[in-house]
Amino acid sequence: MIGKVNPIMNELFAAHDAEEFAKFDCVDCHGEEMREIDFKMPAPSMYIVPPEGTPGHRGMMSTFPETVKFMQETVTPAMGKLLGVENFTCAGCHPSAAKPKG
């Protein structure tokens, strides 16, 4: 990961916001608890993405429009390609507030 994913994600995040992501590293995706959870994803400390169509999701979209656009159009497809995962979603990195089906 550190040799394959980190350099590309570092470049993408720095291009999006050079100041905020000047020191982009593993903790930005895996969270502060990364070693304790053996780098498992999604990281529990990451922003929880509300289910689509809910008031929470609409709130996220209106509060963070540029970030959501960047994540949807740049980060998610790039990460899917890097990991070889077709249809990679936000839930690959972010916990979801969606209720489990079943």
In a domain, 40, yes or no: yes
In a domain, 97, yes or no: no
Extract the tokens encoding 64: 């963070």
In a domain, 100, yes or no: no
Q: Which domain holds residue 46?
A: 5-92
The reported pLDDT for the residue numbered 102 is 47
In a domain, 98, yes or no: no
Extract the tokens encoding 46: 């990451």
The reported pLDDT for the residue numbered 4 is 87
What is the tally of structural domains in the chain? 1
6-32 confidence digits (pLDDT tens) = 999 999 999 999 999 998 889 999 999
In a domain, 25, yes or no: yes
Residues with pLDDT less than 50, the chain: 102
Q: What is the biggest distance separating any 2 CA atoms in the chain, rounded to whole angstroms?
A: 43
In a domain, 23, yes or no: yes
Percent helix, percent strand, percent coil in the chain, to nearest 5: 45, 0, 50
pTM: 0.83
In a domain, 99, yes or no: no
